[in-house]
Structure 1
Amino acid sequence: MSRGFKLGVLAAAVMATAPAVQAFEAGDFILRAGVVHVAPDDSSDSITVGGAPLLSGADSKVTVDSNTQLGLRATYMFTNNLGVGLLGATPFKHNINGGGDIPSDIKLGETKHLPPTLTLQYFPMASSSAFQPFVGVGVNYTTFFEEKTTGTLDSVVAAEYGIPGARTSLDLDDSVGVAVEVGMDYMLSENFGLNAAIWWADINTDARVKVYDANGDFAAQTAKFEVEIDPMVYMVGFTYKF
């Protein structure tokens, strides 16, 4: 028996065991649920007060740590190969740590955010294929909320500026930017499958720290400083086609 014939028989056997499904076609609504991990590729401007560093003699910056939450993605197919997708998730919570000359293990604050992302998606494979890779490009809108600073930052600022009992607050502006994605679905049956996807999102926010004295009266504030988060976002989960 020739090697070519054996390979042909093996290929036929693999094809026979693959799921015979009609994957995605115009009018389908596809829902995906799973775990989403946000890994910032962050950088920030130096933090200053009146043109001077926030902390004397130190290049004061911040970094943002990673977080994992439950995610939900939905796609509506308006042709067999084109769809519009929306990414949502439970709120992400990130620690804001020191950067520059401030050690990165010092927590300065925290925030929560929601990053809904809308993309136009292209699926190159035929509807008869159980394997459905896709690429997408679109827009990300990130809203920040429940920004908080730590007692560590309060104490440092109180000592640095001679404000006994100083309290600080943090404000983060919302962000709008470009998002790109690549991903795949593998349908195990007509309606159920597995999925994985990766995004990059352009997320930048203008931040400001305000300082209040022990009576709650405004005492000082930093200049606005930009924090570039620009995360890679990873998701794995399950697919259900309606």
Structure 2
Amino acid sequence: MQRTIRNLARLAALGAAFAAAVEVAQAADLPVYTKAPPSAESFNPWMIRLRVLGVLPDAGGSTVNVAGVPTLSSPNSGLSISNQAVPELDISYFFTKNIAAELILGVTRHSISGTGSLASLPIGKTTLLPPTLTLQYHFDNFGAFKPYIGAGVNYTVFFNNSAANTPAAIVGPPAIVATTTALHVSNQWGGAVQFGFDYMLDRHWGLNVDVKKLWLRPDYSATVSGLPVTGTAHIDPWLVGGGVTYKF
């Protein structure tokens, strides 16, 4: 009897061990499911902006030299260059989340007239293509508000120059009726600095305000009533813009 009981105990122990081994084997075969980590938001380096741009020249310091007429070449003679508002596109490429390069593209047309001894003399009009490339630092620790600063270079192409070719009386003595013809403005390199900010409404869309200062001082020439006129135009414009940002 005791032997039978011992045999039954051994069988029970073997059965329990076998059942445990089967359970472990089954557990090893079952796939393990874990919650996937949230996908990281991909970084796209491209941004574009469409702005309305105010071009505000600062022509103080422009020089005017009229051959053979010292009175008109005096320090009191200068240039006035009209303000302009135009649409403008810029393209930005982010090397990192903070460092970017920006290229602005736009075309403006300005009227040029005399000041001082040349007051009331219309000189003409010129069209500017001023592509400007800046390297920027973007601050990203203010949430949706993302200010930036930058500096770079500008190369302005002047084309479609047209002299006023309109007779006008200019200050004497003696008073002279003058007509400007053959206007030419040279292309010019210049420096640029900027500051601005984007306010992002969501991941892609935002609002932008941007201010740039360009140092732009091209040489020009014209003919006034048969006399050659030369000088340097201190355009030095402020570029003040506002518009829409799209981040890819």
CA deviations 1:19-50 (Å, max 9, x no partner) are xxx99x95420100020010011131133214
In the other structure, the counterpart of 2:108 is 92
Distance 1:221 1:102 in 2: 14
Checking the alignment, whether the CA contact within 8 Å between 1:154 and 1:167 is kept in structure 2 is no
Unpaired runs of 5+ residues, structure 1, are 1-21, 213-218
Identity %: 33
User: Which letter does structure 1 place at the counterpart of 2:228?
Assistant: Q
Distance in 2 (alpha carbons) for counterparts of 1:77 and 1:112: 31
C-alpha separation in 1, matches of 2:83 and 2:55: 6
- 8 Å CA contact 1:53, 1:60 repeated in 2: no
Q: Which residue of 2 aligns with 1:125?
A: 140
- Please tell me whether residue 231 in structure 1 is matched to residue 237 in structure 2: yes
Greater shift after overlay, 173-182 or 26-35?
A: 26-35
Q: Does 1:208 align with 2:208?
A: no
Greater Cα shift, 25-34 or 181-190: 25-34
Contact 2:128 2:158 in 1 (8 A): yes
Pair 1:145 & 2:159 matched: yes
CA distance in 1, matches of 2:186, 2:67: 19
1:195 corresponds to 2:208: yes
Give the counterpart letter for 1:221 in structure 2.
P
Asked if 1:36 is matched to 2:43, the reply is: no
Choose the corresponding residue for 2:100, options 70, 80, 83. 83
> Whole-Å Cα distance in 1 between the matches of residues 84 and 185 of structure 2?
18
Tell me which of the two structures has the higher relative contact order, counting C-alpha pairs closer than 8 angstroms and 6 or more residues apart. Answer: 1
1:113 paired to 2:128: yes
| Pairs aligned (count) | 204
**Is contact 2:122–2:168 with CA below 8 Å preserved after alignment?**
no
Pick from 79, 83, 86 the counterpart of residue 62 of structure 1. Answer: 79
Match of 1:4 in 2: none
Any unmatched runs of 5+ in structure 2? 1-39
Q: Is the CA contact 2:63–2:75 (under 8 Å) kept in the aligned structure 1? A: no
Instruction: State the distance in 2 between where 1:171 and 1:236 align.
Output: 32
Higher CA-based Rg: 2
Aligned partner letter, 2:98: N
Q: Which runs of 4+ in 1 moved over 6 A?
A: none
Q: So what's the TM-score if we normalise by structure 2?
A: 0.73
What amino acid sits opposite 1:93 in the alignment?
R
Q: CA deviation at 1:239?
A: 0.5
Matches of 2:201 and 2:79, distance apart in 1: 45
Hey, what's the Cα distance between the residues in 2 that align with 1:42 and 1:220? Answer: 23
Question: How large is the Cα RMSD of the aligned pairs?
Answer: 2.9
Matched position secondary structure for 1:189: coil
Give 2:115's aligned amino acid: G
* Contact in 2 for aligned 1:121/1:134 (Cα 8 Å): yes
**Matches of 2:243 and 2:73, distance apart in 1:** 48
